[in-house]
C-alpha cells in the first residue's frame, strides 16, 4: 500500500483524544511509522491541529476530526470521514477518556458516573465496533489492530481518588480480553496498554477540579 507520493503506507489509523498527552504522542509516532493518522479531538482544535501539523511536517499524512466519543452519531461521522479522507482503516487506538475528577465513592454523583462510563467504556466499545465492521475479514476487510489505552488504576483501584475512573478502565480491560478472543480469527489483534502515572493534562485537570 502506498500514498500518492509513492511512500509506503501502513493504512489509516484513528487515534481518539489525540490532541494531548498520550494520544498526541501515539499519533505523532504512528505518523512517523507510516500510518495515515486521523487525529480526533473533542474540544481543543488548536492542540489537535498542532499534532497533525507535526505529522505532516515530518513527511506523514494526517487529518483533524472533531468528534465527541461519548456520542454514537459523532463516532459514526468520525469513522466515515477518516476513511473518506485517508483511505481504508487498519487500526484504532482508543485513547479518549476522562477521570471525572478526584472524589471518594460516597461523594460521587450519578452525573459524573454517567459521563465517565459514556466516554471511557461505551464510547470505546462503539469505536471498536466500527473498527471491527471495517477491518474484520468476516466483513470483507483485511484485518488490523485495536489498542485500548487502559490504566494501572484498573488493578490498584484508585482508592481515595477515583474509584469510578479505575472501574471504567477495569471494564475496558475485560472488554479487551473478550473482543480479542472474538475477532482473533477475523484478522484483528486487540490489546490494552495500562500506563502508570503519566504527567499529562488529564491528571492536571483532575487536580485543578478539586483545588
How many Å apart are CA 42 and CA 22, to the nearest integer?
Answer: 15
Joined grid coordinates for residue 169: 478502565
In angstroms, the CA 115 to CA 85 distance is: 30
* Statement: residue 136 has pLDDT above 50: yes
Spell out the domains of the chain, with CATH numbers in brackets: 12-210 (3.40.50.720)
Quick check: 146 pLDDT over 60?
yes
Interval 88-113: pLDDT, tens: 999 999 999 999 999 999 999 999 99
Q: Percentage of the chain surpassing pLDDT 90?
A: 88
User: What's the whole-number mean pLDDT along residues 164-192?
Assistant: 98
Residue 41 designated active-site = no
- Could you tell me the sign of the dihedral formed by the alpha carbons of 175, 143, 88, 12, in that order? positive
The chain-wide mean pLDDT, for the chain, equals 92
Query: Of 35, 41, 81, 165, which is the active-site residue?
Result: 165
Residue 210 has pLDDT above 80, yes or no: no
Q: Reply yes or no on whether the pLDDT at 202 is more than 80.
A: no
Question: CB neighbours of 105 closer than 8 A, spacing ≥ 6?
Answer: 163, 164
Per-residue pLDDT tens digits for 40-69: 999 999 999 999 999 999 999 999 999 999
Helices (H), the chain: 21-32, 45-57, 72-86, 110-117, 124-135, 153-156, 163-183, 201-210
pLDDT band at 129 (very low <50, low <70, confident <90, very high): very high
Amino acid at each position: 500500500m502506498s500514498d500518492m507520493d509513492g511512500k509506503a503506507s501502513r493504512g489509516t489509523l484513528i487515534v481518539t483524544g489525540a490532541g494531548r498527552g498520550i494520544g498526541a504522542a501515539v499519533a505523532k509516532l504512528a505518523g512517523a511509522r507510516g500510518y495515515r493518522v486521523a487525529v480526533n479531538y473533542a474540544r481543543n482544535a488548536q492542540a489537535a491541529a498542532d499534532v497533525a501539523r507535526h505529522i505532516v511536517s515530518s513527511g506523514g499524512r494526517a487529518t483533524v476530526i472533531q468528534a465527541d466519543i461519548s456520542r454514537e452519531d459523532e463516532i459514526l461521522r468520525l469513522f466515515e470521514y477518516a476513511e473518506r479522507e485517508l483511505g481504508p482503516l487498519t487500526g484504532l487506538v482508543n485513547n479518549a477518556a476522562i477521570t471525572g475528577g478526584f472524589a471518594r465513592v460516597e461523594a460521587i454523583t450519578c452525573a459524573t458516573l454517567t459521563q465517565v462510563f459514556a466516554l471511557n467504556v461505551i464510547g470505546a466499545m462503539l469505536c471498536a465496533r466500527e473498527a471491527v465492521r471495517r477491518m474484520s475479514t468476516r466483513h470483507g476487510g483485511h484485518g488490523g489492530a485495536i489498542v485500548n489505552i487502559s490504566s494501572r488504576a484498573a488493578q490498584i483501584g484508585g482508592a481515595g481518588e477515583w474509584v469510578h475512573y479505575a472501574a471504567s478502565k477495569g471494564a475496558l480491560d475485560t472488554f479487551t480480553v473478550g473482543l480479542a478472543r472474538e475477532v482473533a480469527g477475523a484478522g484483528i489483534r486487540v490489546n490494552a496498554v495500562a500506563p502508570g502515572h503519566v504527567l499529562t493534562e488529564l491528571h492536571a485537570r483532575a487536580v485543578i477540579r478539586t483545588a
